[in-house]
Amino acid sequence: MNIDFSLILVIAVFITGTIWLLDKLIVNRGKKPDDIKNDPKTGIGSVWTMLTDFSRFLFPVVFIVLLLRGFIAEPFRIPSGSMLPTLDIGDFILVNKFSYGIRLPAWNKKIIDIGTPKRGDVIVFRYPDDPSIDYIKRVVGVPGDKVAYYNKVLYINGKRMPQGKGTVYRPGYDYIVRKSENLSGDVHDILDNKMYPARDFVITVPKHRYFVMGDNRDNSRDSRYWGFVPDKNLVGHAMIVWFNWELGDWPRWTRIGTVIN
């Protein structure tokens, strides 16, 4: 079950704000403090008073959280290894919510256009086949790009994206190679599992769509399997790792502060 916290915050702001306004503008409008206290329906200890006191306390808190989480930055946790070696399982990351436009929380509808993803950006988006699930991948192709993948090497608009020679990723796993990739000037590391054969393809990215791939190229369900990411599904640009903790293991303090490239 995926919980939509943005929707919960919107509902909480609406309910607490409505109760607060009802109390101010209708229930106790024009009443003196002593009259309010002596009224059995609105006096000290009444259900309405407890409800309004709770709403008065909670409203500014959830409103500020909604503003920060909905328009500035939102935290996410990395549950899988599809973005290794860039992102580890258990990484807690912050995502810039306004890089690709100001969007209404919960509905994710863009109201102000600011920018668009570039090749190499690590983005969070709503999974096209189930928008209740958030995915994180790297942008490989932007609208209009012709993306080709031959022998595990990317070609964008006919130009080869250079890769480094690579080294063994971990001792005992000689078949997994970590190498650098230069994606139109954005240099990052990827994993190449030599036990998996290449799956070549050529596609052209349509308007308002993006082609994304995981950095763990042979262990990632991405645009190669389920298609393009629509602009309307964009959530934000992944910025930094602020914590790392995987269930059953100790926190990895060295991950804190890692800038996501």
Instruction: For residue 110, indicate whether it is catalytic.
Output: no
Closest CA to 44 of 32, 57, 33, 56: 33
Closest CA to 123 of 191, 211, 242: 211
Q: Which of 6, 55, 82, 223 is catalytic?
A: 82
Structural contact between residues 62 and 13, judged by C-beta atoms closer than 8 angstroms: yes
Burial zone of 238 (CB within 10 Å; 0-12 exposed, 13-18 middle, 19+ buried): buried
Task: Count, in order, helices (H) and strands (E) of the chain.
Answer: 4, 16
Neighbours of 143 (CB within 10 A): 16
Strands 167-168 and 159-160, sheet pairing: unpaired
Q: Which of 55, 97, 99, 137 is catalytic?
A: 137
CA angle at 157 for the pair 152 and 158, rounded to the nearest 5°: 65
Instruction: For residue 180, indicate whether it is catalytic.
Output: no
In angstroms, the CA 70 to CA 66 distance is 5
User: Which residues, including other chains, have CB under 8 Å from residue 30's CB and lie 6 or more apart?
Assistant: none
Q: List active site positions.
A: 82, 137
